[in-house]
Homo-oligomer: A and B are copies of this chain.
Amino acid sequence: MRILVLNPNTSAAMTAEIAEAAQAAAQPGTEIVCRSPLFGAEAIDSAAESYLSAVGVMDVVDRIIENGEWDFDAVVLAGFGEHGRDALAEMLTVPVFDIAECAAHVAHLIGRRFSVVTTLARSIPAIEDRLLLAGLNAHCASVRACGLGTAQVDADPAGAVQAVVDAAARAIAEDGADVICLGCAGMAGVTAAISAKLGVPAVDGVAAAVALAQAVVGLGLSTSKAGVYAPGPDNPRSHWPLSTALGSGVPVS
């Protein structure tokens, strides 16, 4: 099985971290290929960047197809609370997995109420919206932020882990969560720290998505094309794929 994991931002370091997390969750025999957009933002902290990232992953997928290099059984979209899953589901016949939704699904399976801990408070509404639209908000106890941005996480990894653990502790004590979903990628050791210090399971979205992708592909199922995920009409587009029009390099080497 080959799974295409899409980091929606353009940070090579983040792409590498996501690839590592995905590979760690993969079964023997599952190959992980991780790609990021050929244009866009290095980090996604706004609706504007989230839309840009959605177009970026659409573009890179189309480039891979155009290059004749499409050979994947499933796609994981590795932006927690970002747009784009529905667009990819329209475009592709293989199933597409959003890491926020997958973390929430796994949380339902092992607990009664989950909280999400993300980085900055400004990301909370986007995650709430994603869960609401996915019909996965009824058992969401809260979405909390640890208050640290990407740069701060990079500068002080140990302090960042502690900040996430602190936010998770409040979610458990004040909001009644019994499972924590990590709404931020690239923080090694966070799930282990939460489980060890707080005694609750912690779910990493990338790992959850890889596991659910393997499960759904293993069942022989894929996106329903009988409803909203049917391919759209062939409306004329200009400058598409954008990366080709921009003269950006080929995505798959």
List the interface of chain A (C-beta within 8 A of B): 10, 25, 27, 39-52, 54-55, 58, 83-84, 86-87, 89-91, 95, 97, 101-102, 105-106, 108-113, 122, 125-126, 129, 132-139, 149, 172, 176-179, 198-201, 203, 207-208, 211-212, 214-216, 218-219, 221-233, 235-240, 242, 245-246, 248
Task: List chain B residues, Cβ under 8 A from A129.
Answer: 133
CA distance A58 to B46 in the complex (A): 12
Q: A12 to chain B: closest CB distance in Å?
A: 12
Task: List chain B residues, Cβ under 8 A from A134.
Answer: 108, 139
Given contacts A108-B134, A216-B211, A237-B40, contact A87 B122 (CB under 8 A): no
Q: A44 to chain B: closest CB distance in Å?
A: 8
Q: A101 to chain B: closest CB distance in Å?
A: 7
CA distance A42 to B234 in the complex (A): 10
Q: A123 to chain B: closest CB distance in Å?
A: 9
- Please tell me if the beta carbons of A199 and B225 are within 8 angstroms of each other in the complex: yes
- Please tell me if the beta carbons of B40 and A238 are within 8 angstroms of each other in the complex: yes
Task: List chain B residues, Cβ under 8 A from A238.
Answer: 10, 39-40
- Please tell me if the beta carbons of B135 and A235 are within 8 angstroms of each other in the complex: no
Q: List 18 A-B contacts (CB under 8 A).
A: A25-B218, A25-B219, A27-B27, A39-B237, A39-B240, A47-B87, A47-B89, A47-B228, A49-B232, A52-B240, A101-B108, A108-B134, A110-B222, A110-B223, A111-B229, A149-B233, A178-B224, A211-B219
Task: List chain B residues, Cβ under 8 A from A215.
Answer: 106, 211-212, 214-215
Task: List chain B residues, Cβ under 8 A from A246.
Answer: 239, 242, 245-246
Given contacts A208-B219, A215-B214, A227-B176, contact A51 B239 (CB under 8 A): no
Given contacts A135-B136, A139-B135, A238-B40, contact A58 B54 (CB under 8 A): no
Closest A-B pairs by Cβ, 6 of them: A46-B232, A178-B227, A135-B138, A111-B224, A211-B215, A48-B87
- Please tell me if the beta carbons of B48 and A242 are within 8 angstroms of each other in the complex: no
